[in-house]
Chain A
Amino acid sequence: MDVSMAASENLVPLALLVHLGAAAAALALFRVPRWCRRVAFTGAVVASSLTTAAAVIVLASGEPLRGPLLFHQASGFTASFAVAPLSAGFLLVLGLLAVPIAVYSLGYLGHGPLDRRSAWLGAGFNLLVGAMALVFVADDVLTFLFAWELMSLSSAALVATEHERSDSRRAAFTYVVMSHVGTGCLMAGFFVLASLAGSISFTAVLSGALAFGGQRDLLFVLFLIGFGVKAGTVPLHVWLPDAHPAAPSSISALMSGVLVKTGVYGLFRVCAFGLGTPRWEWGLVIASLGALTAVLGVLYALAQVDLKRLLAYSTIENVGVILLGLGAGMMAQAAGRGELAALGVAASLFHALNHALFKGLLFLGAGGVVMATGTRNLERMGGLVRRMPRTALLFLVGAAALSGLPLLNGFASEWLLFQVLLLLFQATPDLSRLVFPVAGALLALTTALAATAFVKAFGIAFLALPRSEGARLAHDSPRSMLWPQAVLAAGCITIGVAPGLVLQPILGVAASLTESAPGAQWASGAFRLSPGPGHFDHFEPWALAVAVLLGLGLAAGLSRRAGYAVRTAPTWGCGGELSAATEYTATAFAKPLMMVFRSVYRPTRKVELVGEPHFPSEVKYQAGIEPTFERFIYQPLMRGVMAAAERMRVIQAGSLHAYLAYVLVLGIAVLIWLGGGR
């Protein structure tokens, strides 16, 4: 027993060492890209398996794993880790996604122009995954901030992989700036807490009994901004749709699937359960931000014609859904309804897991498509279902899961979230309870819009005629890239049909946070989501699956009456020749909803006629949407910062004497201040 405990305590440090070793080996082998990839990604698979094992051990036993990572003799500082149930949940998400992505990268990086960047990507990938694992397990402020910064920098480096392109550089720059604004807020918040606690260990810092009243609210806001940037919460999301697509697709999958979840983890750990019992208003703030993020995220996703940007915006949407669940849980906790809070938190965590699975799948699929067609623009794809049948099928599974359709995992977590919202309505006595059904209606709108966006993404990219030479000549991805997608798709289907399998451990994690378990009637079996405390609804996906299969059988039987004869004929091209030019485009598909929500999009359109006024030889058409947040929040902010910097130049005169004088004045002032304190 002792031996096995000791072994399991070493899993995390060992995994971090393997990541470091693999990163170093990748850099050392930079001249042989093939070996560099093999070493780096095999290392990542091994390390992620180790962290996954640690997570599974913790989830199974419910007992946290703790231990030291580093000990600094002179200062007596120990960097320590602890895998509590919440950390284990997120660690599991990381492991479940990092392994398929590492396997995918072996093929993906070897088949394209990224081959010569193998050392960079292999080392960066290991550093990023290791840093994320460390973020999830860090047990003191310094280790956490170090891991957080390492994670931000390594992911920024990966975003800038194609650094010869100015848009990649710009995306990485915006990302670094925004990340550091967030990190600044986190440092301020953590240092205040650490000085109040007189210790930097998380046990003391996040005990929840340190700050009160206005100070507690201020800390909440600081952490909300700090973690909100990383999670991609509106209005702090502006970096995300630039940064995620700019990275190579395997990295995009990791960023969208797990990196944003580090922000969510922080919100869970600190904002929701680290500052004492949350206030009802905090929950309302987080739930409202969640609803806003979800609706705006999906609206912007719908408007995109760049496949990877569309996926990135849909990540914002899903973070919104996750936050809606967390906010609902916090409101329940504030109202003293621990069992409901546990359900809300569980719905949120469940959706975080599901989003990692289907978004990872979709980004990996998009990577294959972009590699095969040479473009990210939906308007230049088309017809890929014939050229890339396997990728198409797997992408369809991911798209349907993301659209919250039953028998897939996205539906299960959204179903749970709906239950939580309605149960909370019943549990709240006063008028404020009207927010819950309204949140439910917004969630329904989000889901329906997501379905629209993904009918568009799948239909325009994969169906009908190819719209460019690249799409016409595309080839399906190699097996090493398809298998990881198949594994993720199988995960989506398994959880969709048997949600109880994962809901059981998730409820355990939620109960560890809210300190009261949801009723025993929850998740009574692997195939069933049962009614909650207030008895709302139950859901047996397998019975539904049987019903749908019977329906399919009936459909097949009925359509066989005509025999097996099928006539094929060309599609009628309205009297002209059917070609890619007569097909419906991605822009046209989104047009009705863009018109309906024009107050959000503020669309711009420019039509230019070239040649004679009535007989133009050419018509140029340009349509776009106004980047509202960039224009009305960030541009004024940038101008303000630049103007302030301009003013500051007065004291930066370039004269050494002046600088020495500043140092002298400052030194004397500090001495007076310290002396005055005696």
Chain B
Amino acid sequence: MNLVDSFGLGLLQAAVLLALAPLLRGTIKKLKAAFQNRQGPPLLQGYYDLAKLLGKEPVRSDVSSWVFVAGPRVYFATAVAATTLVPVIVAGAPLEEAGGILVLVGLLALGRFFLAAAALDTGSPFGGMGSSREMAVSALAEPALMLGLFTVALWGGSLNLGDLVRTTAARGLSAHPSDLLAAAALFIVLIAEAGRVPVDNPATHLELTMIHEAMVLEYSGADLALVEWASALKELLFMTVLVNLFLPLGLATGVGAAALAIATGLYLAKLFLLSVGVTLVEVTNAKLRLFRVPELMSASLGLAFLALALRFL
């Protein structure tokens, strides 16, 4: 594949995932409401919110500097760039030549670094609180994330998501205990990174329990839209990586219309299943105290290590 094609496909994939991300959040909200016998917001509410926020002028603190402006933009840009590294419906990523798992994790860390620094810029204690907690939770999730991904990578013989998905797809669905444990470990990391119950609560507006929401409390208008959109995209990315690594069914290997249609349908179905899983965890658990979160993260790390040991013993 030549470079122009790669970038073209990358842009296309980024656009599709960007368009899909608010729908994923809407689906989870709707599912959650259904479990709780509520009606919930409309499925497309995420799009209405983004459209509204993008049309509004941002209000910025008179204390803040350019860092506050740069935060959401870098956060958004890194999430968009990260979409090009992830295989979605085809067994390969548009820009897989640019890097694999490490680059993906690194890009997301770059966005988080800027957003967390920007949160300190307004002088509000909430920003600092959120920033400090977000960095702490992600630092604790990092070893589990890496060990879980290494287990898959070492079995597949590559750290590149494109290569990896091709190998696992060729090998077919596996119910090896190692895969189950690694998937469980990464699922916990997904919950933490996406800021969902029991680690964080995306719906809360009680300051002292917030993590991510506290960090972005001072954002408004178009700035807030970028943050929200990028967060949704990040969640979608994590879920895509998870379903494509552990359920590598139906990824298209060619460009035939039928294969692509089947792949798209299966991808959406897998995403829906995982969303149900995330929702089930959210409705059946209460948010953990902040200082109980490390226990969850060490459980995830333990699972990842067991997965590694089981696979290679």
**A interface residues, Cβ below 8 angstroms from B:** 383, 385-386, 396, 400, 403-407, 411, 415, 418-419, 422, 425-426, 431, 433-434, 437-438, 440-442, 444-445, 447-449, 451-452, 454-456, 458-460, 462-465, 534-541, 543-544, 546-552, 554-556, 558-563, 565-574, 578, 582-585, 588-593, 595-596
Contacts and interface: CB of A to CB of B under 8 A. Distances in A.
B47 interface: no
A571 B122 contact: yes
A454 B116 CA distance: 11
A566 B107 contact: no
Given A415-B102, A567-B57, A463 B67 contact: yes
Contact of A568 (B60, B74, B105, B159): B60
Nearest to A534: B157
B63 A544 contact: no
A571 B157 contact: no
A468 to B, nearest CB: 14
Contacts of A583: 123, 125, 128
21 contacts: A385-B66, A385-B67, A403-B113, A415-B102, A440-B146, A444-B105, A444-B146, A452-B136, A455-B113, A455-B120, A463-B64, A534-B157, A537-B101, A547-B84, A551-B77, A562-B221, A563-B57, A567-B57, A569-B60, A589-B132, A592-B133
A459 B116 contact: yes
Given A460-B120, A571-B218, A565 B143 contact: no
A441 B143 contact: yes
Contact of A451 (B3, B109, B146): B109
Interface stretch (B29-37, B147-155, B236-244): B147-155
Contacts of B133: 592
B132 A584 contact: yes
Interface of B: 3, 6-7, 10-11, 14, 54-67, 72-74, 76-81, 84, 95, 97-103, 105-107, 109-110, 112-113, 116-117, 119-125, 127-129, 131-133, 135-136, 138-140, 142-147, 150-151, 153-154, 157-160, 163, 218, 221-223, 225-226, 290-291, 294, 301, 304-305, 308-309, 312-313
Contacts of A459: 116-117, 119-121, 128, 131
B222 A558 contact: yes
A465 B127 CA distance: 13
Contact of A593 (B55, B122, B136): B136
A403 B6 CA distance: 29
A433 B312 contact: yes
Contacts of B110: 400, 405-407
A568 B301 CA distance: 44
Nearest to A528: B97
Contacts of B119: 459
A567 B59 contact: yes
Given A411-B106, A537-B99, A550-B81, A592 B136 contact: yes
Contacts of B107: 406, 544, 548
B78 A422 contact: no
B151 A568 contact: no
A386 B66 CA distance: 9
Contact of A584 (B63, B125, B146): B125
A550 B309 contact: no
A56 B101 CA distance: 35
Given A536-B159, A559-B226, A465 B123 contact: yes
A551 B81 contact: yes
A451 B135 contact: yes
A444 B189 CA distance: 14
A433 B129 CA distance: 40
Contacts of A534: 157
B54 A558 contact: yes
Contacts of B158: 535-537
B10 A547 contact: yes
Contacts of A440: 146-147, 150
Contacts of B74: 552
Contact of B128 (A438, A551, A589): A589
A437 B154 contact: yes
Contacts of A571: 61-64, 122-124, 218
Nearest to A444: B146
A402 B163 CA distance: 29
Nearest to B50: A558
B182 to A, nearest CB: 12
A558 B76 CA distance: 11
B300 to A, nearest CB: 11
Contacts of A403: 109, 113
B154 A445 contact: no
Please classify the interface of chain B as helix (H, G, I), strand (E, B), loop, or mixed, using the class held by over half of its residues. Answer: helix
Contacts of A456: 132
A578 B123 contact: yes
Contacts of B124: 571-573, 578
A447 B99 CA distance: 18
Contacts of A396: 67, 117
A584 B129 contact: yes
A448 B139 CA distance: 5
A534 B153 CA distance: 12
A544 B139 contact: no
Nearest to B53: A562
B69 to A, nearest CB: 9
A177 B313 CA distance: 47
A596 B55 CA distance: 42
B81 A554 contact: no
A426 B65 CA distance: 48
A404 B11 CA distance: 26
B298 to A, nearest CB: 10
For the complex of A and B, 7 pairs with smallest distance between CB atoms:
A584-B128, A551-B77, A459-B120, A551-B80, A547-B81, A464-B123, A448-B142
A463 B81 contact: no
Given A538-B99, A562-B54, A578-B124, A455 B226 contact: no
B60 A566 contact: yes
Given A396-B67, A437-B147, A593-B136, 11 more contacts: A403-B109, A406-B107, A447-B142, A448-B143, A451-B112, A465-B123, A536-B157, A540-B98, A584-B131, A589-B131, A590-B132
Given A405-B109, A547-B10, A551-B76, A535 B103 contact: no
B161 to A, nearest CB: 10
B56 A562 contact: yes
A548 B113 CA distance: 15
B53 to A, nearest CB: 9
Given A418-B102, A448-B139, A562-B55, A441 B301 contact: yes
A588 B131 CA distance: 11
A568 B62 contact: yes
Given A400-B110, A451-B135, A543 B57 contact: no
B61 A406 contact: no
A404 B139 CA distance: 13
Given A437-B151, A445-B139, A464 B121 contact: yes
B97 to A, nearest CB: 6
Contacts of A562: 54-58, 221-222
A537 B100 contact: yes
A433 B151 CA distance: 13
B55 A561 contact: yes
Given A385-B65, A459-B120, A596 B81 contact: no
A591 B132 CA distance: 8
A452 B151 CA distance: 26
B225 A558 contact: yes
A396 B313 CA distance: 44
Nearest to A547: B81
B73 A544 contact: no
A113 B249 CA distance: 69
A570 B10 contact: no
A431 B310 CA distance: 11
B120 A584 contact: yes
A423 to B, nearest CB: 10
Contacts of A538: 97, 99-100, 160
**Looking at A386, A551, A585, which has the most chain B CB atoms within 10 Å of its CB?**
A551
A161 B130 CA distance: 41
